[in-house]
Amino acid sequence: MKKIITIIACFAFAFLKVYPQTDAEKQESYKLFQAAIKTKDTSKLDDIFNFKLNPDYYQDNWEKPVIVMIADTKDSDFILSCLKAIDKSYGIPYPSYSGKNNPLTYFVNNNDAETVRKVLEWKKELADFCSYNGQSYSLSPLAEAVNKDYVEVAKAIIPFVSDVNDSVCVSYKDKNFGKSYQTTCNLLSYARSDEMKKLLLDAGIKTYIPYTRDFEKTTYVIDDKVNIRDSAGLSGKKIARLNNGDKVEVLGVDAAMYTIDNYHGHWINIK
């Protein structure tokens, strides 16, 4: 009899923990969180997020989601306390209305390098986690920082990234059956400032990438008097010229982007 009662009690507890709170209870938790935000009070965070308040919850359409309010404080210690409380109930990355979101992205977008570093010291796997919104993958945190030219944020992320040459930079829906998948690119091609380029080069970004798209390895020149140089860059010695229609075999691509005579693109290594 005692075993049956214990099982029923455990089931009832699990039922209460798993099922979401009512809107009224969520709003009450939201108000408690608003008060905690104002005072940076961490004493009640565990109770607030104990399956009572979703990290993306907002009371009305003009209110900010909880995770955005957390990020906007730019108080790294308070933010970390909030994430730890969320982690106990929801896990990090937490479930949200759009799938799996990487909370690190919010701090990257706020150019909050200190918080990014502290969060990664707590959960380093977030450096490589890419958000999934149901259709495609977003940029990786490092790619977000590079794209926005947030050098200090990039500095905070790089030590925790598994491979700087394998960061997710772009994603798209495959035309074949509409499947979504992540793709990688070279971060150096997205760097805007010389400081960011140097940071990535120092981190081990490859400047020369072997060309792998077999169907484009043999291509044709579409302009006249195209200079061929012995190295990538205008300082390279001119060794020949190609004209419209000339056939070439592509061996590799320089990762960096250049603008020369109104052309914006990569130096191409040809055979």
Mean pLDDT of 83-106: 86
Contact 197, 188 (CB under 8 A): yes
Give the least confident one: 17-21, 40-44, 200-204, 210-214.
Answer: 17-21
Mean pLDDT of 180-202: 79
- The pTM (predicted TM-score) of the whole model is 0.72
Residue 120: closest CA among 185, 76, 88: 76
The structural domains of the chain, ordered by start, are 23-97 (no CATH), 115-206 (1.25.40.20), 207-271 (2.30.30)
Average pLDDT, the chain: 82
Please, which pLDDT band fits residue 166 given cuts at 50, 70 and 90?
confident
Strands 218-220 and 247-254, sheet pairing: antiparallel
62 secondary structure, DSSP code: T
> What are the two backbone dihedrals, phi and then psi, of residue 253, each rounded to the nearest 5 degrees?
-135, 135
Virtual torsion, Cα 40, 43, 49, 55, nearest 10 deg:
10
Token duo for residue 61: 């359409």
Q: From CA 120, how far away is CA 124, in angstroms rounded?
A: 4
pLDDT at 18 over 80: no
